[in-house]
């Protein structure tokens, strides 16, 4: 690849590199950041179409930070990350003399910090969803595809709530991953790290009921049972094959039962990750042990777990009235 001579060409090459390594959404975000940077450079007398890339220094990060003050802190951080990524790209490709320690310092000094927001815990609503899906399976025909799908959905939702699994981790499970006697599974989780996940009695029971209903399909698959997906597709596209559900299907399962159990207004308010929030707060409410919750949730930092260790409004109301209304 020919070395770019202008800022505009360097931006183009940087975005091509981002596109190859990052998701579509990330690529779009970085492209937006570069559009803003180009405008900022023009305001400071540099024409990206003709200005040589060798003349660009990390000082432009300061100009960018000033231009982003009208954006939200979260957007500012994203766009500054994209901008500093661009300068690191220039340094790595030896296209400009970039002082990398100063680059990081400028970003830290100039960027605002997003205000920390407490995670939302729709505890009662998630419990209503779990009750709904359990009742929903009771009135269905034993041999219908609808029942099989409902049994899967019940097992999937209870598994999310009682294990703290991320949606992609649950979708990737195989039957052989679970030690049914120990009630555990060894998974490859976030950051490509191996981890042990525990299953509750009710999640194991729901899984066994689902797999029992699926026994004919699994038995005729021609594959060893341990190699089959724990959660399978039950649609015309899968046919008689046992194919794993995708993360999109996992999210659709949550959306469907949020709508059915709580109504259209609740759709989008509860996501698969809400079930992980539910798991962490359930552990904390029952044990009060922050370290235990961190380990079970597989949080890399205990600061992440601490965000869940606050009292609910109902608990605060009760505590207040116990003190002042005696």
Position 147 scores a pLDDT of 87
Structural domains for the chain: 7-110 (1.10.150), 123-314 (1.10.443.10)
Contact criterion met (CB below 8 Å) for 223 and 208? no
Q: 273 in the Ramachandran plot: left (φ > 0), alpha (ψ -120 to 50) or beta?
A: alpha
Q: Is the dihedral of CA 144, 150, 156, 162 positive or negative?
A: negative
Walk along the chain (326 residues) and give the pLDDT tens digit of each residue: 456 689 999 999 999 999 988 888 888 899 999 999 999 999 888 999 999 998 888 888 888 888 887 777 777 888 888 998 999 999 998 888 888 888 888 777 766 555 555 455 678 899 999 999 988 888 777 667 888 999 999 999 999 999 999 999 999 999 999 999 999 998 887 767 788 999 999 999 999 999 999 999 999 988 999 999 999 999 888 878 899 999 999 999 999 999 999 998 887 788 888 898 889 888 888 888 888 888 888 887 777 777 776 655 555 556 556 655 55
Give residue 323's pLDDT: 56
Question: DSSP letter at 267?
Answer: B
Give the chain's end-to-end CA distance (angstroms, integer). 78
Predicted TM-score of the model (pTM): 0.61
Phi-psi category of residue 312: left, alpha or beta, with phi > 0 → left and psi -120 to 50 → alpha: beta
Q: Which residues pair with 188 in a beta bridge?
A: 194
């Amino acid at each position: 690849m020919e070395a770019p001579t202008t800022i505009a060409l360097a931006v183009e090459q940087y975005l091509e590199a981002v596109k190859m390594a990052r998701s579509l959404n990330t690529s779009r975000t970085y492209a937006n950041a570069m559009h803003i940077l180009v405008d900022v450079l023009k305001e400071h007398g540099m024409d990206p179409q003709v200005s040589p890339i060798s003349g660009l220094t990390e000082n432009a990060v300061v100009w960018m930070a000033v231009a982003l003050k009208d954006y939200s802190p979260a957007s500012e951080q994203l766009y500054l990350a994209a901008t500093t990524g661009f300068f690191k790209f220039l340094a790595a490709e030896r296209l400009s003399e970039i002082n990398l320690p100063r680059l990081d310092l400028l970003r830290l000094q100039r960027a605002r910090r997003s205000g920390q927001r407490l995670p939302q815990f729709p505890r009662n609503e998630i419990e209503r969803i779990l009750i709904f899906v359990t009742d929903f399976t009771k009135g269905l025909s034993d041999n219908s595809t609808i029942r099989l799908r409902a049994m899967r959905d019940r097992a999937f939702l209870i598994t999310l709530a009682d294990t703290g699994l991320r949606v992609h981790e649950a979708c990737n499970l195989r039957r052989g991953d679970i030690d049914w006697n120990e009630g555990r599974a060894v998974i490859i989780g976030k950051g490509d790290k191996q981890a042990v996940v525990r299953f509750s009695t009710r999640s194991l029971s729901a899984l066994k009921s689902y797999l029992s209903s699926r026994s004919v399909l699994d038995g005729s698959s021609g594959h060893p049972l341990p190699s089959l997906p724990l959660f399978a597709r039950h649609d015309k596209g899968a046919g008689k094959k046992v194919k794993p559900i995708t993360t999109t299907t996992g999210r659709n399962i949550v959306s469907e039962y949020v709508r059915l159990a709580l109504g259209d207004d609740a759709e989008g308010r509860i996501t698969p990750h809400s079930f992980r929030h539910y798991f962490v707060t359930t552990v904390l409410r029952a044990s009060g042990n922050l370290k235990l919750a961190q380990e079970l949730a597989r949080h890399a930092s205990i600061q992440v777990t601490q965000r869940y260790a606050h009292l609910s409004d109902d608990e605060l109301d009760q505590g207040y009235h116990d003190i002042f209304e005696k």
